[in-house]
Amino acid sequence: MQQRLPSKFERPILFAHRGAKAHSPENTLESFLLATRLGATGIETDVWITKDLQVVCDHDGLVKKRLRSARIDNYLMSELPESIPKLEEVFQKCGDTQNYSIDICDPSAIEVVSKLVRAHDDDFAKRVWLCHPDFDLLCSWRKEYPQLQLVNSIRLARISEGVERRCANLAANGIFALNMHHTDWNGGLVALAHRFNLAAFSWDIQHLELLRDAYRMGVDAVFSDWPDRMIDAYKLEFED
């Protein structure tokens, strides 16, 4: 059996991808709360902003009405389906002690998201991870919102300058973590990220053995549609 490599954190964060997506409708309060009950230590979601500047959780940011689709920012909050929750509600229902990984799908939402995070204490801000693929945009957010924890979510093949240079640039600009698909990571790349004091986040891990492999690799967070499998794999690796 592969020896478990060291992680940046004492224990990896177990992010439920869009809530307990495998068991209930994604990006709903029901799904987020179910993930928490199943034992997830983090909630992952995508956020957009409405016409009246409410930040809401939804995957593709589109609302379908009468066989047509339109972006969420064309609607007031009151005009959206009731199944789409506000990010503020998710914070309230799931609690201050939960970790949150938030993909900022509409960059114009960052100011409101920052205010929502700052409405809580400093410890809460340390548990909110704001993700985006654009390196330059993340750097501009770091300058404007120094209290936020920013994460570069990207595929390895799209890092044109090479992963070592990307890690160096992220570290130099105060970006906290590199988040890549689980097939992009190996033990050497996790160690490389850690060498630059970056956390290594690994997403789209759906099977027990792949989750165990990720834990052994030393990743600092995993993302799965199956919170129960994340917990089972965690117990096998860390508690047996």
User: What pLDDT score does 1 carry?
Assistant: 47
In a domain, 1, yes or no: no
Residue 151 lies in a domain: yes
CA dihedral for 27, 29, 34, 39, sign (positive or negative): positive
Whole-number pLDDT of residue 224: 98
Residue 216 lies in a domain: yes
Residue 112 pLDDT: 98
For the chain (length 240 residues), average pLDDT per consecutive 10? 79 97 97 98 98 97 86 96 97 96 98 96 95 98 96 98 98 98 97 98 98 97 98 91
Measuring CA to CA, which residue among 238, 223, 220, 221 is closest to residue 8? 220
Q: How many distinct structural domains can be found in the chain?
A: 1
CATH number of the domain where residue 177 is located: 3.20.20.190
Domain limits for position 107: 13-238
Give CA separation, 85 vs 126, 197, 230, in Å.
Answer: 23, 34, 25
Residues 6 or more apart whose Cβ sits within 8 Å of residue 48? 55, 56, 58, 61, 71, 72, 73, 105, 106, 109
pLDDT at 69: 87
Distance CA 135, CA 154 (A): 10
What's the pLDDT at 33? 98
